[in-house]
Amino acid sequence: MHSFCMLGTMGMKGRGGQRMAEEPFRALVDGMKEGVIVMDRDRTIHYMNPAAEVLTGWRVGERAPYCAYCTARSVLPGEERCLLAQNQSLPYFESEMAVYRGKHRSFQMSLAPMSDPGEEGRLVLLIRTVLPKEEDHKWRLSQLLLRETIAAQEAERRRIARELHDNVSQKLFSAYLATHGIRMRLTDPELAEYCRNVAETLQEVMEDVKAVSRSLHPATLDLLGIVPTVRAFCRQWSSHTLRCDFDTNIPDDRRYAPDLELNVYRIIQEATVNAVKHADCTKLDVKLMEDDHRLLVQVTDNGKGLRLPAKEGLGIRHMRERAQVLGGVFCLTSELGRGTTVQCTVPLRGDGW
């Protein structure tokens, strides 16, 4: 299995369906912004999530270095040098660590032993960078800019969709009625047939305009909510050559915050369009589930799959950005010849987002 959030092999076999190698948990860990590292007591690394690899430059099989504090502190013979391993009551610890061959970076760290049977002696190290105030300010500004950019794009989509529905569609319908009326008055069979063809073309154009307007901004999303809208979307994509199934545990009348509904719909829309255009698939499974204060979005196809890591196209980037705006975790997994799965997990607040 290849993925943008590759969990890899951690030397752990499944047991009781609750092991760390499970796909849902794997997707969650691989999509985390914090670095997750599994290592032995001698600090030999057995697993790193992508964030840990990017943050540290370490590799599986290497030994994780001690932080600057633990390297310098005095210890008795046989005493544990790692402060977090020695004192597990510490919630976290902040210090510098060696990264990328000689460079150092400040991290917040926490450490916990693995409690699963058969995994005794292994430790899970969580790390996150400590941003200077200036960098933190820049990051917050970038998130605000991303939100405002997406909001501006959606406002423009709404405007164009409304213009197509209220103006262009009405003018096309008027032209269709006029053409049909002229045809009824023609005595020349050849001209009448020509007008009939023009009228049919106008009908096709009206359907195309309606489809474009709906893709820009589905009216059902504002009126009925995310579940009926996604169900209708899947029904529209189903055809003789493509089966698009929708599965949900959410009632039709369940409503969420407008921004959440819109961004979730866009992720499903983008994932579906990408699969139909590029995956050569015959079946799509779309899931929208609410569980334990989270919203799970998943689109799976049975297409040709991808060899990952691969260059991230605009579609994947846009889905990742929308998940980021929602404070969620985005994950794409794929296997050559066995299809692709796009998954996004969004935390829910008490106000429906």
Between CA 26 and CA 22 the distance in angstroms is 6
pLDDT given for residue 290 in this prediction: 92
pLDDT given for residue 277 in this prediction: 87
Please determine, for residue 101, whether its predicted confidence score (pLDDT) is greater than 70: no
Asked if residues 334 and 28 have their Cβ atoms less than 8 Å apart, the reply is no
What band does 1 get if pLDDT is binned at 50, 70 and 90? very low
pLDDT given for residue 57 in this prediction: 84
Joined together, the tokens standing for residue 114 give 């693995």
Please determine, for residue 3, whether its predicted confidence score (pLDDT) is greater than 80: no
Q: What is the pLDDT of residues 19-75, one digit of tens each?
A: 444 556 666 787 787 889 999 888 999 988 888 888 888 889 999 998 888 888 887
Asked if residues 61 and 53 have their Cβ atoms less than 8 Å apart, the reply is no
Asked if residues 247 and 299 have their Cβ atoms less than 8 Å apart, the reply is no
Q: Is the pTM of this model over 0.85?
A: no
In 256-328, DSSP assigns E strands to 283-291, 294-301
Q: What is the pLDDT of residues 262-273, one digit of tens each?
A: 999 999 999 998
Q: What is the pLDDT of residues 307-331, one digit of tens each?
A: 766 667 788 888 988 888 888 888 8
249 vs 155, more confident: 249
What band does 103 get if pLDDT is binned at 50, 70 and 90? confident
Average pLDDT, the chain: 81
